[in-house]
A and B are shown apart, each in its own frame.
Chain A
């Protein structure tokens, strides 16, 4: 269902001809026939195969590495360790969904003096086959001095906790503190007078929450092929969300000029934030250099993916909120401690934005702590930090509504932010559609349907994501048949070739089928930030709009020449250039481009800032089995303000995917460690993501409140839908069995424990 609340975008001329339709994706045939080339499908002449040695310990000092025996294995061509990496100073770089320090990235790519988590890369081998490389890796002798690990975020914050990075100092509200610590930073947002706010409340609810470590769970493991050529030029083929980000990181880590590195992005088999940073890319380049400049390919197996990439933070969150009996929030306090894995950079910053973003509050305090532990370095994961945060705040909102005796959507409506309100962390909202999602949820048949049966319950939750603009460049040229070649630098993870081509077709008033988009390498188009932050259809779509306007201007010049009239007299509408009764079709001019000797090309780059936040409200029905603790999802509806749905099928798909990942996070997914810090469930059998059998059809309502900051009113849509699910499911479980769940995942064991505790009390 699509509910259009605003008729047009700012520069829009609705009704649109192409936008809002559902054409087939340009890369479709390749992807349903197995022809599309993903990371591991790259094959080059004389290619070697790599394998990685990984740490069996969570925390240890490396006292020695002996690679001599591995090097003697027939077929082994190169072995590298951290000693082969240049020494890197502190350099901060923004990957698009978080800033990272490249010195830490270097330490993560190959462990320098210490291993910091189970699975940390230590050394790599290139050989004539994967089997030989894997055998040779086992012959590398590493001596470790074991150190005590710390895995829990609150334990790691204690004064006597084992120190993971000796040089780490806390950045306390922007200022560096003295003394060794695992607390990388403390941030704070504050407004009004908390004491006064809570004094005005009739009801105060305070709860503590714990959430486990989860992985993005893309089905395609990381893979990279590197060629360090004889002339010093490095080419990397890899599956990534951002080829330019990989280029820049490889250039910095290997201390090469950026123009000496080319990154060719393959098709990408899912990323969700986990394919922004480098893992294998610098290593295959180093191996290639040492192996006589032959290309080297390395592909992780699933165990490596789970042990050494991805995950997002486990967290401890405390939320306290006060409200009056008539349903007005008076004050809110939130404390968030997020584990970052072994290097600073958890998403606690965005979590601190998400946690109170949907609500008007005069009095608030938010504290956030970024804490390192002996787990893999955390990476962005779809609305980074948002799911944990909203799980906590939406449960407290629900509890307040229940105590007051008010419908939970009505309670949210009474406190919902609208245009002109100030977000908890400061910025003022432009036009947003949160209230519209609440109304749409109230009106949805799902919310009104009776829910009968024992142990069944309904829950709702809302969520916010800020989205991102980033930088995008495209180039385009017009073919003699009147079609347009469009060169993009945004890897297509979920149909963005289509959604970007549609915006170009709409701008130029040509058919969608006449746009031929290509995702090209870092030498072939201007800079592009990664496909992340829900920005690609928004930002690269905007670049396509700009390039379309330029191409039309250029075509007008050609029309003026051919019609022998003044340029100013040319009008363009519906594919026809006209002047004083004379006219030429777009394709007629295109046909004559070659003879006129004036090829039509254009490029455009944009860096839009008014990306327009997204809000969603979800409704879920569950049934809890009191014997086993298993929670079944009976019905699910996701409502979201999507700005303008360019290709509604792929917008619906984003909502579906966010919900599915959110439900997995809510009910199943969790890293399980032993006391020594060994990851015990590094497989898809034991780290269980939802299957087709675990989910019902997911109903979606696309509310279209045009973003005034985009030519077609687009808002990012990809991340918002993973924010509400855990809270919605928790609230439904409460409705079903009267138990407030405060840990993620709400797995059968934790549900049973909560039920037993309820019986005892």
Chain B
């Protein structure tokens, strides 16, 4: 995938982004565009660095190569103050909610407003109650974060994310670990907030059903590259076997069910009879001379003795 297709109304453009952690390359010349006013989903298996991508967009991490352009601004080139100004226009919903645990729901939602404006407490109160009403938790204003269920915490975090009326919201795994009801609530909220507030939404997720239901456009990422892109329908009908496996949740396919491992039987036998392990394995030929038909007594290497043993069984 390259940057051949760059829609004019894209809010975020990621260009040739390369990022690695240690020796592991998380993104390898990744490019994608996120359109204004749409819900764009970025999907992929766990550990593909989807959260990392959001942090790169938010300027919390710096890429090795490539650019992230948000609303015409190159995030990496921004000075600290400009980056902070840009972040005021970005909302982010963390997987855990990331609510401040020492203050209650009301103060959590009021937090960004208090930090970035000089509004009177009466105004702040009105704003906070409006935001809480939007996520249906006005009644929970005086609860502490520890008293909330996971779904409620995420909704409070959502209210906080929209507190400054941002232009976009990034959702980091919004559906993970939710019961069906809160799942439904969240799906509904993300969809309705996007339309009513005119937001641009980015959902990073591996929950195929929920994401596909509300996304306008989907990128599927694997091994640091975009392996599939398109509307939910076109993605579901993708020819790529990998995308098919991911979207349908098949147990086996291009991604194997088994993590690369030694020979199964080999492992089992070692486990069942520790006496066979290590150097003792090389002595196997001795107690069972009758099996040693090919006269390979001279072989002393453990590995070869073991493979011979397997074959003979």
Q: Is B truly associated with A?
A: no
